[in-house]
């Protein structure tokens, strides 16, 4: 009889330890996922058609938050950023202008810093149109545009 009680107690302790070990693994996995999501990765859904044909509306993309820890974005990079007027929304755009750049759009072509040659943009599917006056990118800011500009 005493042997049966010890076996039952051992089984209960063993089951309790097993459950506790699984709870520990699950808590660790959730904490790791939260850390990665907050500091390392950004997971975004492309909200509009502004980046088509490069990225389709509704596509899910992941980016590294650490990409720009040691150097800033470069012209042509695709970045995920918080929409300035509603920071609950992520935007996905291409970097066109760097801090201090002068941007002018003439007949859909982008000219940087008064260049006579437009920016080479092989990623554009359609020929853009429209003209916009000169804009100087403020210090610490970037000028972004989608690939589907029309």
Enter the tokens of residue 106: 């003439």
Question: Is residue 55 within 8 Å of 61, Cβ to Cβ?
Answer: yes
Whether 93 sits among the annotated catalytic residues: the reply is: yes
Q: Determine which one of 50, 82, 109, 115 is catalytic.
A: 50
Q: Determine which one of 56, 93, 102, 131 is catalytic.
A: 93
Whether 125 sits among the annotated catalytic residues: the reply is: no
Query: What are residue 105's phi and psi, to 5 degrees?
Result: -115, 120
Is the backbone of residue 66 left (phi > 0), alpha (psi -120 to 50) or beta? alpha
Question: Is residue 134 within 8 Å of 35, Cβ to Cβ?
Answer: no
Give me the active site residues, please: 50, 93
């Amino acid at each position: 009889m005493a042997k049966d009680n010890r076996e039952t107690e051992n089984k209960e302790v063993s089951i309790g330890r097993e459950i506790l070990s699984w709870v520990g693994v699950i808590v660790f996995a959730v904490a790791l996922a939260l850390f990665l999501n907050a500091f390392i990765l950004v997971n975004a859904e492309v909200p509009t058609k502004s980046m088509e044909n490069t990225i389709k509306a509704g596509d899910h993309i992941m980016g590294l938050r650490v990409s720009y820890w040691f150097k800033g974005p470069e012209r042509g990079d695709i970045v995920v950023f918080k929409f300035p007027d509603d920071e609950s929304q992520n935007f996905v755009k291409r970097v066109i202008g760097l801090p201090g750049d002068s941007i002018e759009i003439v007949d859909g072509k982008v000219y940087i810093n008064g260049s006579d040659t437009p920016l080479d943009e092989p990623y554009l599917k359609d020929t853009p149109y429209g003209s916009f006056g000169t804009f100087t990118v403020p210090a610490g800011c970037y000028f972004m545009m989608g690939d589907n500009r029309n």
